[in-house]
Structure 1
Amino acid sequence: MVGAVVRAAAALAVGLLTACAAPQPAAERTAVDVAADGYVYGYAPVTLARTRANMLCLLPVNQLHHQSATADPTSRVVVAPNVDTLYSIAWLDLRGGPVLLTHPDMGARYVDFQFLDIYTDVFANVGTRATGAAAGAHVVVPPGWDGPLPPDAAVLESPTWDAWMIGRTLVESATDLEAARAVQRQYSLTVLTAPVADAPPPLPPTACGSNPDPQALAASGPQFFDELSAILAANPPPPAGAPLLDELADLGVRPGARPSAGSADTVAALATGVVRGERRIRDLVASDRQSGQVWHSLSTAGRYGTDYLQRAVVATIGLGANVPEESTYHVARVAADGTTLRGETGYLLRFPPGALPPVDDRGFWSVTLYGPDMFLVANPVDRYAVGDRTPGLVRGPDGGLDVWVSSRPPIPDGSNWLPAPPGEFVLMFRSYLPTDRDWVPPEPVPQP
């Protein structure tokens, strides 16, 4: 279900972010400039709120939903799902009081519970790396909570009243699937009833069947800012955004407001700002095609500060990406020769002897293939990733590992094949519990 969401485009990204995100002198800024910045600012929280709305049509707030199988091409709720873990999802509404998470002893199995606020910053992790394998109890409390709490539970304070919990439980192999499910069934989530009298209003109710698409924000035009205004009312934003939010308030973008019903000039500026902001995000997502680099990493995932452009980019290609100490993500859209990755070309990923991804013994790695829309693509062998647990991989005589990425299987042995569609595709390399965050995957080399 998740994905998931660049150690981002290194020098190019830094240059682009400086050019695109640096505020202009106040005297030069127009209403359209402010609206474009506001669209970039709101992109991630609105994407998350829409995703939440869609999921709440299937599961209530403050309840765990367990994915019983690894992701496949039918998993189209959140971009870039991994196929290594079973997901356990919960949307937390802390207006009713704290929420208690408990889990059993994990033993050697990798488990992580990731907590994101509504603005997509990660505020806590629970599991193998962060808190250890032993059985545990953790209570998530709303902002500023000073009420009673269970005496033996660790406290996690959410910066916002709405939060997203993403649990990941590693599946070692097909024969391990039922054991992983059995572990999932031992997770529990309980609301500790203690409603907060001065809590802000909830997010607007969902309209199941007509919720707007989380992958098509710009299509809403000025109404995008109505959604952002509702989020600001339900979840007071981090103070660091105050200068931009003050400017947006002059355009009617205020907590609980409906800016799309403003004056004709203001609404026109908002509409143009949406177009410009969307272009800014898409240009950065596509910038690797001209950068000369192959792999780009989501190095700031989970902790964005005021880098709203990078936050929007991650929401576009890997919503729910974790912090780098938990997992690193490298994304490739081009090959070693700079051409766009296409399945009919065929590529070799060559891992020399002793150069497999550096991960902790408790972690794992995988390379997953997606279509240009960042969702999995059906293939004849139902293989969507290759990693350290893929059965039947054949090492070379020197101990190295070659992975063939193509729309056609390698001849004569197809054991190391990662199937691709005939057209364009994207690769995402994940390292869970990385021991060297500077490591970069081998470049995909086109084959004749």
Structure 2
Amino acid sequence: MARWDDLRTISLERKYLSDEDRRTLLDEHFFERAMQVYLGAMPAVNMVAIRDGSQAVFGSGYNVLPIWKSRMDARCKVPTPNADVVYAMSYLDLKADGPLVVQAPPGILGMLSDFWQHPLSDVGMVGPDRGQGGQYLLVPPHFDGPIPDGYYVLHSSTYNVFLFWRAFLTPGPDGPDPAKAVETLEQTLIYPLRESNPARWERMEFPDASGVDLDMLFPRDATYFDRLAELIEYEPVDSGEMYLRGQMASLGIIKGQPFAPDDHLREILQAAAEVAPRLSVAVNTTPDSFPDREYYTGEVRRRWVNGWPDLDELFRANSYLSLDMIQSYFLIAYSASPAMAKTVVGGGSKYPSTFFDADGDYLSGERSYRLHLPPHPPARLFWSVTIYDPTDGTMIRNGQPFPSINSLDGRVTANDDGSFDLYLGPQRPDGVPEANWLRTNPEEGYLLNLRLYGPTLPFYDGSWIPDDPVRVD
């Protein structure tokens, strides 16, 4: 019998509840509140965990910009990272430093967002500077000082701001070369608007994050709520949605008040923090969870899904906010920008993903598959295929340098017609080039992600459709 059937047996015949029934219902109330707070706050706590994981190793400050100078690999535990670009990520504090000027270098694909992961702006190729580089001014909440001319002005609802740059690899004799991308990213300059004397700016630091063990995942236990309470206390009241704040208040997370749950409530929070991520996995891996989620449902049916099915960058549809899509996305990913949700032919990026093979079965690490990409994948910049843990979005630790194949690697072999056959499985099939194979871990499922950078018209008009993975064992 389901739990709600137990609750429906509670008697109200005598117009009041027994102590046992009252406690049962209140426990259910607080558990449900905790579940919804966990799911609703996932974008923010996701961001807090990424910041804290980085700053624990590299330190904090507007001048600290870690760069994965040899690309990001599975030693960095962060949701759905990209091994086929060079990342730079920083965490700015407008309460500590006031308005900040960010000099973005040319030729990047980047974004700036608040700590609820509401995008402030795309930056670079699909931003207002159009890839030429430019000066962005980050303004804190409720700032009433003068704002000078000459900047792309961005008003943040939170004091904390996330800076996320990506620069592109170039082909090299031994595979993709990150040197030029690193050189580009190290042109970033950040300084306080209030300080006009460059001699007083903190010197930019660009620590190398490649090869460093980093845990940037949000908690799956009751400490999740502690991290959330700290953020709520630090940020202004109007930086978050009031209905969610009402749910938080039921648990004692209220700005201006200490968060001190007793042992019984902490036990409930622990249970919710264990169940909520599992619920998100269930929603995310159910094919019909969202309307129009699948990319290809016409005469040619495929199981690749869209992270923004008829939604904008805030996950809004025409008449509602897609709460299920938010919790599914931020379970295994981070950062959202207008360019990700829009149709930008030849610019931006798209990320078709699948959990399933051509038979509709979940992808399984002990099986072998062939993934056929039709001739000339529609990516002006490059394409890549990467495998991830479907429960938290981390890269699969498969023993290869990167759990990814990309078109910048001159070792990947194309077919005569310009198509590609890529293989996934625990063993490389006979005759398959090493560069066309991704090793999978037996007894582990995985998420398969296809990235298209600079997607061209054949992607949008459906004249180019990737196959589903087909079993070959």
Q: Taking structure 1 as reference, are residues 415 and 56 closer, same or farther at Cα in structure 2, changes over 3 Å only?
A: closer
Aligned counterpart, 1:385: 404
Query: 1:297-376 counterparts in 2 under 5 A?
Result: 297-299=306-308, 300=311, 302-304=313-315, 306-322=321-337, 323-325=340-342, 326-354=348-376, 356=377, 358-359=378-379, 361=380, 363-372=381-390, 373-376=392-395
Amino acid at match of 2:253: V
Following the alignment from structure 2 to structure 1, what is the Cα–Cα distance between the partners of residues 418 and 454? 23
Q: Taking structure 1 as reference, are residues 97 and 330 closer, same or farther at Cα in structure 2, changes over 3 Å only?
A: same
Following the alignment from structure 2 to structure 1, what is the Cα–Cα distance between the partners of residues 455 and 144? 36
Following the alignment from structure 1 to structure 2, what is the Cα–Cα distance between the partners of residues 240 and 48? 14
Could you give the per-residue CA deviations for residues 247-269 of structure 1, whole angstroms, max 9, x where no partner exists?
4324322124344435x665565
1:442 and 2:470 correspond: no
Q: Taking structure 1 as reference, are residues 67 and 216 closer, same or farther at Cα in structure 2, changes over 3 Å only?
A: closer
Aligned counterpart, 1:112: 109
Shift of residue 102 of structure 1? Answer: 1.4
Contact 1:138-1:156 within 8 A present in 2 as well: yes
Amino acid at match of 2:369: Y
Contact 2:51-2:216 within 8 A present in 1 as well: no
1:398 and 2:397 correspond: no
Contact 2:384-2:407 within 8 A present in 1 as well: yes
Following the alignment from structure 1 to structure 2, what is the Cα–Cα distance between the partners of residues 31 and 378? 37
Could you give the per-residue CA deviations for residues 175-218 of structure 1, whole angstroms, max 9, x where no partner exists?
64222222122221112237xxxxxxxxxxxxxxxxx9754623
Secondary structure in structure 1 of the residue aligned to 2:220:
helix
Contact 1:113-1:168 within 8 A present in 2 as well: yes
Aligned counterpart, 1:88: 88
Query: 1:49-128 counterparts in 2 under 5 A?
Result: 49-57=48-56, 58-63=58-63, 64-76=65-77, 78-95=78-95, 96-106=97-107, 111-128=108-125
Following the alignment from structure 2 to structure 1, what is the Cα–Cα distance between the partners of residues 46 and 133? 33
Query: 89-98 or 242-251, which moves further after superposition?
Result: 242-251
Report % sequence identity: 23
Contact 2:50-2:218 within 8 A present in 1 as well: no
Dislocated runs of 4+, deviation >6 Å: 289-293
Shift of residue 447 of structure 1? Answer: 0.8
| Residues paired across the two proteins, number | 392
Q: Taking structure 1 as reference, are residues 278 and 412 closer, same or farther at Cα in structure 2, changes over 3 Å only?
A: closer
Q: Taking structure 1 as reference, are residues 432 and 447 closer, same or farther at Cα in structure 2, changes over 3 Å only?
A: same
Following the alignment from structure 2 to structure 1, what is the Cα–Cα distance between the partners of residues 271 and 364? 34
Structure 1 gap ranges (5+): 1-28, 195-211
1:412 to 428, 431, 438: 431
Q: Taking structure 1 as reference, are residues 233 and 336 closer, same or farther at Cα in structure 2, changes over 3 Å only?
A: same
User: What's the TM-score, normalizing by structure 2?
Assistant: 0.73
Aligned counterpart, 1:24: none
Amino acid at match of 1:294: R
Higher relative contact order (CA 8 A, sep 6+): 1
Contact 1:301-1:321 within 8 A present in 2 as well: no
Following the alignment from structure 2 to structure 1, what is the Cα–Cα distance between the partners of residues 288 and 423? 22
Following the alignment from structure 2 to structure 1, what is the Cα–Cα distance between the partners of residues 248 and 187? 46
Contact 1:289-1:334 within 8 A present in 2 as well: no
Following the alignment from structure 2 to structure 1, what is the Cα–Cα distance between the partners of residues 255 and 322? 22
Following the alignment from structure 2 to structure 1, what is the Cα–Cα distance between the partners of residues 461 and 416? 28
Shift of residue 432 of structure 1? Answer: 2.3
Shift of residue 307 of structure 1? Answer: 3.6
Contact 1:117-1:160 within 8 A present in 2 as well: yes
Could you give the per-residue CA deviations for residues 328-350 of structure 1, whole angstroms, max 9, x where no partner exists?
22222221112232344221111
Q: Taking structure 1 as reference, are residues 367 and 301 closer, same or farther at Cα in structure 2, changes over 3 Å only?
A: farther
Contact 2:136-2:152 within 8 A present in 1 as well: yes
Shift of residue 156 of structure 1? Answer: 1.6
Could you give the per-residue CA deviations for residues 120-169 of structure 1, whole angstroms, max 9, x where no partner exists?
22221110122312231111111243423453221122221101111100
Secondary structure in structure 2 of the residue aligned to 1:249:
helix
RMSD of equivalent CA atoms: 3.2
Q: Taking structure 1 as reference, are residues 294 and 237 closer, same or farther at Cα in structure 2, changes over 3 Å only?
A: farther
Amino acid at match of 2:138: V
Following the alignment from structure 2 to structure 1, what is the Cα–Cα distance between the partners of residues 152 and 372? 44
Aligned counterpart, 1:16: none
Aligned counterpart, 1:431: 452
Contact 1:112-1:127 within 8 A present in 2 as well: yes
Amino acid at match of 2:331: T
Following the alignment from structure 1 to structure 2, what is the Cα–Cα distance between the partners of residues 60 and 285? 34
Following the alignment from structure 2 to structure 1, what is the Cα–Cα distance between the partners of residues 138 and 218? 31
